[in-house]
Chain A
């Protein structure tokens, strides 16, 4: 149950990046989460509502994209998605694999904002 710490970090990162968009309101935050990242989406969603209260992220939607575990097989040289988290073996040749290429991600991909009358400080207004 470390989802609250994770969500607090999300709020911090987004708030930090938001500083240049004066008066903007966040409407959506998109995450990329690997299947091996040890976080539960339901808990993230639950904590998100609490952690965003009173911030510029309040009321925004949290969209979580779960990324499958992709491994690289040293035996056959192929990359592939493992069939189950209970067996780290190559989906092509069946050899055990320990070279992970995807599955531990835990990142904020992007966020969507609604800007009011005031545009990004120091930047030309783009239609």
Chain B
């Protein structure tokens, strides 16, 4: 009986990472900007995305969405009302989206015919941060009804984000939302990050967000 140590030095999520790399190449060559939206359940990802899709379509942009949930196609039906192509991914218990699920749900879609593709992740502030979906931009959302210290409690996710969106700012007053503390906490975890303060209900902050999307598309098309 002999004992041997086998060096492996292999990423545990290698399979997902490879698939995500392939997706990223596909997205880049199709010229579609892909955003991965992550937050807790109840932050208002779907309402924010509904508004974003509607506003983008009204401006003549071509946008589509994939939406992840454990069960039901409620969100896909809500989002489809915007007129954008939408597909639901049901994970049946899995707490995050994986690159393979994204790839599977893209079948038959003409990516080159899209300007933007949004992937609404499963509501969860922990697990989605480990799974690359091939996105160009990861957006972390935080609502005024959650604690201002959420970024400090979930540094992994906020640190991996490229942009942050504060949602439901129409409720900031009644919730006694401490805006300065929230901004300070987001920036303590992710220095230099762009933060958008929005309300899907009133449309506040949406113009700035849409402008940012446009800038991103230009930046990624050029890279």
Interface residues of A (CB under 8 A from B): 1-2, 5-6, 9-10, 12-14, 17-18, 21, 24, 27, 31, 36-39, 85-89, 96-98, 100, 104, 106-116
Contact = CB atoms under 8 A, between A and B. Distances in A.
Contacts of B188: 86-89, 96
B137 to A, nearest CB: 15
Nearest to A106: B12
By secondary structure, the A interface counts as mixed
B130 A111 contact: no
B104 interface: no
Nearest to B14: A13
B127 to A, nearest CB: 4
Interface of B: 1-15, 94-96, 98, 126-127, 129-131, 152, 155-157, 159-160, 187-192
A5 B152 CA distance: 26
A106 B3 CA distance: 25
Contact of A111 (B5, B152, B156, B189): B5
A87 B6 CA distance: 37
Contact of B11 (A24, A27, A107): A107
Given A2-B94, A110-B8, 8 more contacts: A17-B6, A86-B155, A86-B189, A88-B191, A96-B187, A104-B160, A108-B9, A113-B4
Contacts of A113: 3-6
Contacts of B127: 1-2, 38
B10 to A, nearest CB: 5
